[in-house]
Amino acid sequence: MDGQQREPREPRGGRGVGGGAQDAFESWGRSARPEEAEAWEALVDTARRTVSDGLVVGTSGNVSVRVGDTVLVTPSGVPYDRLTPDDVTGVDLDGRQVLGTLVPTSELPMHLAVYRSTDAGAVVHTHAVHATAVSTLVPELPAIHYMAGALGGPVRVAPYATYGTDELAENMLHALADRSACLLQNHGTITHGDTLTRAYDRTAQLEWMCHLWLTARSIPDLPPHLLTEEQVAEAGERLRGYGQRG
């Protein structure tokens, strides 16, 4: 959930005139560095993917990526298909705005809490339908599939708190302990990773597992078979070495 946005300032020298995207980045105190401009482009692509993949509706959900001590984050209330290089929005780890003129997402406390407590490089928050449904039913996603091991173990549900509050951020951190994903009760999902790609993939995987569990439990009088904690842990160990190397 997001609030109001400031009216963006016109960049000095005209919007996007002359030197391309980098010249368009004008901020509260400085211009975006090249690595921040590149990260912003990847962030916008990821945010748009959450919409095209059906994980959010409208301007719900938010995405962030850390570049050094700066956190780039989607702004509040701006449709992702309207975001441009001019709209770069960044804060420091204390939440002070250092880039851009648009108001950062109202869920900034959650994003910053993750960065302060982990070595995460990116955070993705969505209102995915199946995951949100599961968050209203159980305190932890049942171990319906071994891919829970890729998220650090059984996925916990953080108790409900009002969006955008420190209370919600604190509840989330408890649910995220030793995990890279959790559900937010009556709200949605949050995942983190060392890259935007990994954070996003974990979000998609979590939504798929929630869909799977809801489908399996919908058969009357036939409860789904669940994996043991040991089986999930063993899968998690094997998944650490999964994929190509080099």
Residues known to be catalytic? 107
User: Beta 97-99 vs 122-126: how paired, if at all?
Assistant: unpaired
Task: Read off the amino acid at residue 21.
Answer: A
Facing residues of 72 across strands? 65, 90
Facing residues of 65 across strands? 72, 122
Task: Read off the amino acid at residue 86.
Answer: D
Return the C-alpha torsion angle 174, 166, 195, 38, nearest 10: 180
Phi, psi of 50 (to 5 degrees): -60, -30
Candidates 90, 9, 80; CA nearest to 48 is 80
Report the distance separating Cα 192 and Cα 111, nearest Å. 9
Report the distance separating Cα 24 and Cα 10, nearest Å. 9
Inter-residue contact 61 to 55 (CB < 8 Å): yes
Inter-residue contact 121 to 35 (CB < 8 Å): no
Phi, psi of 131 (to 5 degrees): -65, -40
